[in-house]
Amino acid sequence: MKKFDYSEVKEYKLYDILLPIMNLLSKILFKIKFVGKENVPKTGGVIIAANHYNTFDPGFIGISGVRKIHFMTKEEKFVKPFSKWLYTRANAFPINRGGADKSAVEYSIKIIEQGYTLGIFPEGTRSKDGVPQTPKAGVALIARETKADIVPVSIYSEGKVKFRSKIIIRFGKAIPYESLGFTQSGKSSELRAASRLIMDEIIALREKKFEA
């Protein structure tokens, strides 16, 4: 079975169908609040970068309704046929986290160049204790190749997410591509520095916790 078709960026109607359903469920299961949604550009290719410590994180951001988001997702979610079908039609796409995944990176670039929204977790995996981890260079690499702005997003909950947990999703002001410090040198140190800058913005938002 073919893992995923990276040749063309598609947006599925199921995303629109699931959105109000997931929104209603979230209101029943959690006490969730969104702050700063106005910071997300309404048009044009953009990257949404968030911290990651819960399985529901992509859904929490997605139900905000700011944009249709194409989330980079671990390839294990695309192994079983039904899971692959569901995640694909929720606009997600797989990435091999074990090394450089050229297909996933090129697909990410297509998403942005075609004016869509890319969702990515710079840490590359979930934080087991909720403490933000050192970011990978992928988000900076994609930003460099596309010259896209990045909207930092923090997801905060006190302790593990459970029934009726209070959760806040905070969208920060977009980080302009020009502020990431890229030059013509293409040094890997620039990617690391840009990734750290993006993650620092996410952490700063997270430290606001439940502030209005």
Residue 6 belongs to some domain of the structure: no
H helix or E strand, kind and range, residue 20: helix 13-29
Tell me what pLDDT residue 212 has.
73
Residue 8 belongs to some domain of the structure: no
Rounded-to-5 percentages of helix, strand, coil across the chain: 40, 20, 45
Tell me what pLDDT residue 1 has.
42
Tell me what pLDDT residue 100 has.
76
Tell me what pLDDT residue 158 has.
87
Tell me what pLDDT residue 131 has.
80
Cβ atoms of residues 66 and 40 within 8 Å = yes
> What six digits make up the tokens of 94?
């797989």
Tell me what pLDDT residue 2 has.
55
Tell me what pLDDT residue 149 has.
97
Residue 131 belongs to some domain of the structure: yes
Cβ atoms of residues 209 and 78 within 8 Å = no
Residue 180 belongs to some domain of the structure: yes
> Which single residue is written with the structure tokens 């938002």?
205
State the total domains in the chain: 1
Residue 5 belongs to some domain of the structure: no
CATH number at residue 60: 3.40.1130.10
Residue 7 belongs to some domain of the structure: no
Residue 100 belongs to some domain of the structure: yes
Residue 65 belongs to some domain of the structure: yes
The whole domain housing 199 covers 13-206
- Give the tens place of pLDDT for each residue, 66-93: 999 999 999 999 999 999 999 999 999 9
> Which single residue is written with the structure tokens 């529901």?
56
pLDDT tens, residue order, the chain (212 aa):
457 999 999 999 999 999 999 999 999 999 999 999 999 999 999 999 999 988 899 999 999 999 999 999 999 999 999 999 999 999 999 998 877 799 999 999 999 999 999 999 999 888 877 788 899 999 999 999 999 999 999 999 988 899 999 999 999 999 999 999 999 887 899 999 999 999 999 999 999 998 87
